[in-house]
Amino acid sequence: MEALESLLSRASCPVLADPAPDGAALERILAAAASAPDHGRLRPWRFLLVRGAARGRLGEVLAAAFRRREPEAPEALASKERQKPLRAPLIVVVAAAQREAAKVPAIEQIAAAAAAAENLLLAAHALGFGGMWRTGWPAYDVGVKAALGLAPSDSVVGFLYLGTPGQALPPRAEPKVADFVSEWHG
């Protein structure tokens, strides 16, 4: 797929099925992610692959964290959290492992990891896979981060759900560039 076509046609896929990218395709996707702009060449991004039975274990982590946050909530809501990782055959948790001593501010390190996440989604799309970028409260929960092996100071930029699109997507509305672009003249 041509680069501009990939950029303009990528859309979030809420329904994802097998197969997920693996082998050489996954290697290419991760290489594209790691080519993101990176001030200071810190490579602050970390990619945690969650697939197979590990998705169920992540679901248990989410349900337990939800119970800590909302101890009075009905079990149906905890069960909903438990099912979230099963929405796709592969989840790539993209995190920014921030370096405090670096001359590069934390926000730039997080921005580099976010750029890597976008590259990952674009590369998956270019290879014919679908993706969905999700965050929500689990991205900020210290217990979830600890269960993933991340430090409290690390930032989860997103849970990227990947697989084969399970349904046709409606056409995207073309953005009206004039709505968010202006010219500055000093």
- What was the pLDDT predicted at 171? 77
**Over 90: is that where the pLDDT of 27 sits?**
yes
Residue-wise pLDDT for 72-115, tens only, equals: 999 999 999 999 999 999 999 999 998 887 799 999 999 999 99
The second-level CATH assignment, the architecture, of 13-166 is 3-Layer(aba) Sandwich (3.40)
Domain ranges in the chain are 13-166
- What was the pLDDT predicted at 133? 98
Among candidates 133, 53, 129, which has minimal Cα distance to 94? Answer: 133
CA distance 136 to 153: 17
Q: Which amino acid is at 17?
A: A
* 36, 115 contact by CB (below 8 A): yes
Q: Which amino acid is at 130?
A: G
- What was the pLDDT predicted at 96? 98
- What was the pLDDT predicted at 8? 85
b/e per residue 5-39 (b: at least 16 CB within 10 A):
ebeeebeebebbeeebbeeebbeebbebbeebebe
The residue count of the chain comes to: 186
What's the pTM value of the predicted model, to 2 decimals? Answer: 0.93
**Lowest mean pLDDT, pick from 3-7, 33-37, 60-64, 83-87:** 3-7
What tokens appear for 125 in the block? Answer: 């799309």
Residue-wise pLDDT for 119-171, tens only, equals: 999 999 999 999 999 999 999 999 999 999 999 999 999 999 999 998 887 77
- What was the pLDDT predicted at 68? 97
* 131, 12 contact by CB (below 8 A): yes
CA distance 174 to 69: 39
What is the number of other CB atoms lying within 10 angstroms of the CB of residue 78?
16
Question: 3-state SS string over 77-97?
Answer: HHHHHHHHHHHCCEEEEEEEC
What tokens appear for 93 in the block? Answer: 């948790």
- What was the pLDDT predicted at 1? 67
Residue with tokens 């679901």: 59
Q: Which amino acid is at 84?
A: K
The SS3 call for residue 148 is coil
**Over 70: is that where the pLDDT of 70 sits?**
yes
* 167, 17 contact by CB (below 8 A): no
- What was the pLDDT predicted at 124? 97
